[in-house]
Structure 1
């Protein structure tokens, strides 16, 4: 049995991505951040739909057209394929643990 909260990295020079499950139809990742953001010039432009949930900490996503969405523990968000977005803030004083589920785009 595995646990989403253990083990957690003691030091995070970079945001950490752990693939928990990968099949032809679904991919699940645990992402761990502490004050990390996406590169200023970088946007995620994914070929998959994404559902993301914040388990601990907090994070703010920025979308290409300027909308920002802050997520706290328990908040979740659906991001359709090719909706450009990036992480513009994560809590600097605690770990932000995200659960991201990727699936083929809705038809």
Structure 2
């Protein structure tokens, strides 16, 4: 048993990635960010599909084609495997709590 809103530090100098479940076919991860973004030269290019949900705060995801999607609390997004993307903005006023489900 656990709670997605516990053990959230007030100060977050770096993003925090925590696997909640990890099996051969699926991985569920909690991500905490506060103002962090992906490195400018870095694009995520994942082997698995990703379904991501913002539970608190907000984040902006940019795709290689220039499209940007803003996710606020309750918003979710499907990202296909090898669809290059990166986080270009996250909430600086509060911790953004993301839930990411990776699957094949």
The worse-fitting range, judged by mean Cα deviation, of 33-42 and 5-14 is 5-14
Greater share of residues in strand: 2
Aligned-residue Cα RMSD (Å) equals 0.6
Output the TM-score relative to the length of structure 2.
Answer: 0.98
d(CA) in 2 for partners of 1:74 and 1:28? Answer: 17
Superposed CA offset, 1:43-87 (max 9, x none): 000000000000000000000010000000000000000000000
C-alpha deviation, 1:28, in angstroms: 0.3
Runs of 4+ with >6 A deviation: none
Q: What does 1:12-31 align with in structure 2 at a 5 Å threshold? A: 12-31=12-31
- Unaligned runs of 5+ residues in structure 2 are none
Output the TM-score relative to the length of structure 1.
Answer: 0.95
